[in-house]
Chains A and B, each alone.
Chain A
Amino acid sequence: NAGVMQNPRHLVRRRGQEARLRCSPMKGHSHVYWYRQLPEEGLKFMVYLQKENIIDESGMPKERFSAEFPKEGPSILRIQQVVRGDSAAYFCASSPRISWKDTKSSGANVLTFGAGSRLTVL
């Protein structure tokens, strides 16, 4: 009964390199969310995906950041040409699919979080 799996747990990159963070949702979950957390701050929404679809990427920086959730394999958050300000914990969460009629009462899915990937940019 594996939960949300994220890897790597820790990643060190030099400025200008690329960082790839992976997330496999819980079994039976079809929705994936990425959040960024800076030290002593809350979780900032980045992107919400379903298989092969980006549903909401309103929290993603316009440049250097991209996300995908292919038909096969984990969701990937990709950061190109990393800068020191990208150093943060990146959390992935997943939720089960709910019907549209249920959204009227629930509004949003309950999220199950992975352990996070901590990116350090030197």
Chain B
Amino acid sequence: QKEVEQNSGPLSVPEGAIASLNCTYSDRGSQSFFWYRQYSGKSPELIMSIYSNGDKEDGRFTAQLNKASQYVSLLIRDSQPSDSATYLCAGGTGGFKTIFGAGTRLFVKA
């Protein structure tokens, strides 16, 4: 079973701090990785996509991919209370299927 693993949390950080979310995946054939944010009772929305080893930055968000270690991370700088949500890591397997982790709950304390 190809899986994406995340620490379920909750992860609690103070406002203004850096939140670090981590994810590992089992399918070495996965070539695309995504971070989605899901507020309680809402649907997931895409934050970041990353396809190559290294870092990808978009505003306060930085995604990091290490294919050798099968590891993906998301850093949120200057965390805000509005960032409090569940963050879902996802990996694209062969044939367009996207597999999601269970999600990490993030709380940003004001």
Is the beta-carbon distance between A31 and B103 smaller than 8 angstroms?
no
Q: In whole angstroms, how far apart are the Cα atoms of A18 and B44 in the complex? A: 27
Which residues on B sit within 8 Å (CB–CB) of A104? 31
- CB of A25 within 8 Å of the partner chain: no
- CB of B18 within 8 Å of the partner chain: no
- Size of the A side of the interface (Cβ < 8 Å), in residues, is 28
- CB of A99 within 8 Å of the partner chain: no
Q: B42: shortest Cβ distance to chain A, in Å?
A: 8
- CB of A2 within 8 Å of the partner chain: no
- CB of A106 within 8 Å of the partner chain: yes
Partner of B93, one of A31, A55, A108: A108
How many Cβ-Cβ contacts under 8 Å join chain A to chain B? 72
Is the beta-carbon distance between B34 and A113 smaller than 8 angstroms?
no
Q: A62: shortest Cβ distance to chain B, in Å?
A: 16
B46 closest partner in A (C-beta) = A110
Is the beta-carbon distance between A91 and B44 smaller than 8 angstroms?
yes
B43 closest partner in A (C-beta) = A113
Partner of A108, one of B43, B45, B97, B101: B97
Is the beta-carbon distance between A107 and B43 smaller than 8 angstroms?
no
Is the beta-carbon distance between A113 and B45 smaller than 8 angstroms?
yes
Q: In whole angstroms, how far apart are the Cα atoms of A113 and B102 in the complex? A: 17
Is the beta-carbon distance between A41 and B102 smaller than 8 angstroms?
yes
Q: A23: shortest Cβ distance to chain B, in Å?
A: 12
Is the beta-carbon distance between A107 and B44 smaller than 8 angstroms?
no
A92 closest partner in B (C-beta) = B43
Q: A110: shortest Cβ distance to chain B, in Å?
A: 6
Q: A98: shortest Cβ distance to chain B, in Å?
A: 8
Enumerate A33-88 residues with CB–CB distance to B below 8 Å: 33, 35, 41-45, 48, 55-56, 58
- CB of A105 within 8 Å of the partner chain: yes
Is the beta-carbon distance between A113 and B44 smaller than 8 angstroms?
yes
Residues in chain B within 8 A of chain A (CB atoms): 6, 30-32, 34, 42-46, 49, 51, 88, 91-103
Residues in chain A within 8 A of chain B (CB atoms): 31, 33, 35, 41-45, 48, 55-56, 58, 91, 95, 103-116
